Amino acid sequence: MAARVKIIVLEKDPSEPVYRYVLWADVPIERQPFYANPTAQSAWTGATASDLTALQNGSVVERAGELRLKTDGTLAQAQAELQTRWAAFQNDITSQNKWARYGTTWDGTNWTAGGVN
């Protein structure tokens, strides 16, 4: 299942230009078992049952963060920066594969290649 939303603003500090946020990225099918966490919860209380299922089965991954703008930063600047951060996060999840050699084995004589796309 694809993430229903990509960026969620959790709060903005009223005295400072600081936003707390959550990013959701879609995980390639082959790597979903590595992201699966049956007890995963979201930092966003508005997450639906379907959202939580996606986080738990590894089809979606969440990253929480904080964005601090300059004192005179605007909402439009915050939105643009959050979109940039989401794009980088999604790119990382899609392109970085820590499991490219997962399951490679050696039987004492020969190596057998493994890996997850």
pLDDT (average), residues 9-37: 95
Residue 16: the pLDDT is 87
Residue 72: the pLDDT is 81
pLDDT (average), residues 95-99: 95
Across the chain, mean pLDDT equals 95
Which residues have CB under 8 Å from 108's CB, separation 6+?
Answer: none
Helices (H) and strands (E) in the chain, counts: 3, 5
Q: Is pLDDT above 80 for 1?
A: no
Residue 13: the pLDDT is 85
